[in-house]
Amino acid sequence: MAAYDIVIRNGQVADGTGKKLFAADVALKGDRIAAVGAPGSLKSENEIDATGKVVAPGFIDVHTHDDTALIDNPTMAMKASQGVTTVVCGNCGVSAAPYLNTDVGHWMSLIIKKKENVSKDFAGFAAKVEAARPAINGAFLIGHGTLRMNAMGDDLGRVATAPEIKQMRDLLDQSLEQGAIGMSSGLFYAVSNAASTDEVAEVAAPLAKWGGIYTAHMRDEGDHILKAMDETFEIGRRAGAEIIVSHHKCSGRSNFGRMVETLPKFTDAMKQQQIAFDVYPYIAGSTILRSDMLERADKVLITWSDKVAGMSGRDLKDIAAEMGCSMKEAADHIQPAGAIYFMMDEKDVQAAMAHPGAMIGSDGIPFDAHPHPRLWGTFPRVLGHYSRDLKLFPLEDAVRRMTSYSAQRFHLTKRGEVKPGFYADLCIFDPATVIDTATFEKPIAPAKGIDTVFCNGAIAWRDGKPGGGRAGRALNRQAMQDEAKA
């Protein structure tokens, strides 16, 4: 009899592929799934009874800003509590490495709270993550905006020159060689908005050589979204890279309903090149406070303000009324700050989530004082609210969009399935009770119905608190590609 470390008994397995639930025991040994067998066929001195529960692969949060949260908050409670076992960091054009400057300005401070967490090269950063022994895994993109700050300093309101492009390209090449999984861009943001399509495509060129991914917070998610999609697809083609469009949405009331244009456009483009996108299950987005975004939002909540105390969690309309000024003036007064914008149509959000190209990503911002509830709620909300209660898709398909599909698109080798030989990243949850509890009013709250979460065979979360397991890794592109070939 094989000596297993743990056997999870009597559960219903959602194996991540979308296959119908089946009754099985799951055995773990070391950091791997050792066996999946008929109920009662696998034995260990250490057993977990999963009667009435679903045993799924650990969820992969494909869109995060958790780069340095993995170092500062290594238990990663906001993600482990949701069943998340891997976070893809460095999205939207901003990453903690490679960063050559000594000053962490406003933009970089969104993801970095401690100066010592930045690194001049990716290898140094990955070593810091591993040294922190986080409870869950991280995979890392390199931000085009961060590359720009390295090459161009504060002079960001223009297209990069040829030598600057070369410097950015070389930094990306080196980072990919050291294990980063791709490049992200955020052409929507001031840091990168002046970049041309050519600039991004030329910087992204090393992606082809290393098999890196290109993720894009597109230049426009509102009136000009179709043009922005064309630009994104062109950059991916020219860089020879697979594409993930980030947090797909049609933003602003005048764009409600336009998923009927964007989704068929995705469907068509997916026949030509490898494209997918991520979605978070809410009608509100969140980022820095920008006065040009006020008009398109039905409601604006403040997530943090460095300048004025007591703003976090408040409606900007109330703040403006209190100050006796316009919302724009109130926003100017409390800058720099962050905000939540109610700017999407529920039907659009559901249509995007159910599209064949969709996977789930939270886009949670880990250091906000009053964060968007997606930081703590995304995955249980998809399982409980959208799949079970609204029946948007079956549970097996919800799990697939959080696990195997995500692992395939991001080339996370041997993750995202309950299968012998795969890493023991698992989430045991109660399908009848799983639900998010984080709200816009009270956003810091662990979900209900998540029982036990394993990452690399260690318990990252159990019974409503961190499980003590600290076996997360900085996933390395080269190591994953080698393992895929072996």
d(CA 95, CA 312): 25
217 vs 401 by CB, closer to Zn ion: 217
Which of these ranges, 12-20, 114-122, 362-370, 448-456, lies near Cu ion under the rule CB under 5 A? 362-370
Structure tokens at 203: 């910087």
Strand order from edge to edge, sheet including 284-288: 284-288, 337-342, 299-305
Nearer to Cu ion, 83 or 93 (CB): 93
Alpha helices in 135-294 (DSSP H): 144-152, 162-177, 197-203, 206-210, 225-239, 259-272
Give which of Zn ion, Cu ion, none residue 370 binds (C-beta under 5 to 8 Å, depending on kind).
Answer: none
187 binds Cu ion (CB under 5 A): no
Cα 28 from Cα 301, distance rounded (Å): 44
Q: What is the H or E stretch that residue 351 is in?
A: helix 346-354
Query: Among positive and negative, which fits the CA dihedral 434, 438, 439, 440?
Result: negative
Q: Is 92 in the site for Zn ion (CB under 5 A)?
A: yes
Token digits for 405? 């599909």
d(CA 129, CA 141): 14
> Is residue 339 a contact point for Zn ion (CB under 5 A)?
no
Binding to Cu ion by residue 331, rule CB under 5 A? no
123 CB neighbour count, 10 Å cutoff: 18
* Contact assessment for residue 338 and residue 373, using Cβ atoms and an 8 Å cutoff: no
Query: What's the one-letter identity of residue 11?
Result: G
Least distance (Å) from Cu ion to the CB of residue 367?
13
User: Among 164, 348, 363, 417, which residue sits at the site for Cu ion (rule: CB under 5 A)?
Assistant: 363
Q: Residue 202 CB, nearest distance to Cu ion (Å)?
A: 24
CB 44 within 8 A of CB 8: no
Binding segment (CB under 5 A) for Cu ion, from list 70-78, 361-369, 419-427, 448-456: 361-369
Region of 152-160, 270-278, 358-366, 404-412 interacting with Cu ion (CB under 5 A) = 358-366
Q: Which CB, 192 or 456, lies closer to Zn ion? A: 192
**Which residue number, 193 or 326, has a Cβ lying nearer to Zn ion?**
193
- Tokens at 28, concatenated: 């773990």
**For the chain, how are helix, strand and coil distributed in percent, rounded to 5?**
35, 20, 45
DSSP letter, residue 315 = B
Nearer to Cu ion, 364 or 416 (CB): 364
Please name every residue paired with 418 in a beta bridge, in sequence order, or none if there are none.
none
Q: Report in angstroms how near the CB of residue 4 gets to Zn ion at its nearest.
A: 42
286 binds Cu ion (CB under 5 A): no
**Contact flag: residue 91 with Cu ion (CB under 5 A):** yes
Nearer to Cu ion, 91 or 404 (CB): 91
Q: How far apart are the C-alpha atoms of 290 and 186, rounded to whole Å? A: 15
Nearer to Cu ion, 221 or 348 (CB): 221
Q: Is 219 in the site for Zn ion (CB under 5 A)?
A: no
Cis, bond preceding 134 (omega within 30 deg of 0) = no
25 contact, one of Cu ion, Zn ion, none, CB 5-8 Å limit per kind = none
Compute the least distance from the CB of residue 200 to Zn ion, in Å.
Answer: 15
Query: Any contact of residue 303 with Cu ion (CB under 5 A)?
Result: no
Figure out which of the listed residues 217, 388, 409, 419 binds Zn ion, where binding follows CB under 5 A: 217
Choose which of 62, 92, 195, 203 interacts with Cu ion (CB under 5 A).
Answer: 92
- In the bound complex, what is the minimum distance in angstroms from residue 187's beta carbon to Cu ion? 13
Instruction: Pick the stretch among 34-42, 43-51, 84-92, 269-277 that binds Cu ion (CB under 5 A).
Output: 84-92
- Size, binding site for Zn ion by CB under 5 A: 2
Question: Among 92-100, 268-276, 313-321, 409-417, which window interacts with Zn ion (CB under 5 A)?
Answer: 92-100
Separation CA 349–CA 336 (nearest Å): 29
Q: Helix H segments across 65-194?
A: 69-72, 77-80, 122-131, 144-152, 162-177
Of 89-97, 106-114, 167-175, 201-209: span binding Zn ion (CB under 5 A): 89-97
| Residues 373/292, Cβ–Cβ less than 8 Å | no
Closest separation in Å from C-beta 374 to Cu ion: 10
CA distance 312 to 11: 42
Contact present, 303 and 369 (Cβ < 8 Å): yes
Q: Which of 84-92, 248-256, 301-309, 343-351 is the region at the interface with Zn ion (rule: CB under 5 A)?
A: 84-92
Please report, as ranges, the residues that interact with Cu ion according to CB under 5 A. Answer: 91-92, 363
Please report, as ranges, the residues that interact with Zn ion according to CB under 5 A. Answer: 92, 217
